[in-house]
């Protein structure tokens, strides 16, 4: 019987109001740490979502840039210019341009 009494005594001392009140600042500190941890995790997830959205947007803009660059390269090639200007009277230059300086 003495063992059961001691078990009850230990149990009551372990969760007694005196011990809980003495450790209340520590318990509140742990609760605050938990709240900060959860808030930090949510903030990190939000930032990852924004980063993923911006990466998709950059990829779309990059593809648009590359397609426009390809189109410009095709349209500015000499053979394509000759096809586009076929019906018009435009003569290509025979040689390199000669620039004269204003002093001579």
Collect all residues with Cβ–Cβ distance below 8 Å to 75 and sequence separation of at least 6. 81, 84
Residue 5's pLDDT is what? 44
| Share of the chain residues as helix, strand and coil, in percent rounded to the nearest 5 | 75, 0, 25
The mean per-residue pLDDT over the stretch 93-97 comes to: 74
Print the SS3 string covering 36-82. Answer: HHHHHHHHHHHHHHHHHHHHHHHHHHHHHHHHHHHHHHHHCCHHHHH
Q: Is residue 90 over pLDDT 80?
A: no
Domain ranges of the chain: 11-77
């Amino acid at each position: 019987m003495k063992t059961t009494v001691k078990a009850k005594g230990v149990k009551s001392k372990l969760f007694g109001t005196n011990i809980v009140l003495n450790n209340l600042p520590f318990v509140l500190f742990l609760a605050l740490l938990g709240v900060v941890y959860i808030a930090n995790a949510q903030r990190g997830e939000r930032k990852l979502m924004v980063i993923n959205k911006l990466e998709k947007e950059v990829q779309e803009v990059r593809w648009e840039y590359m397609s426009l660059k390809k189109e410009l390269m095709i349209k500015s090639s000499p053979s394509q210019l000759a096809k586009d200007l076929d019906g018009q009277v435009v003569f290509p230059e025979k040689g390199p341009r000669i620039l004269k300086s204003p002093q001579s």
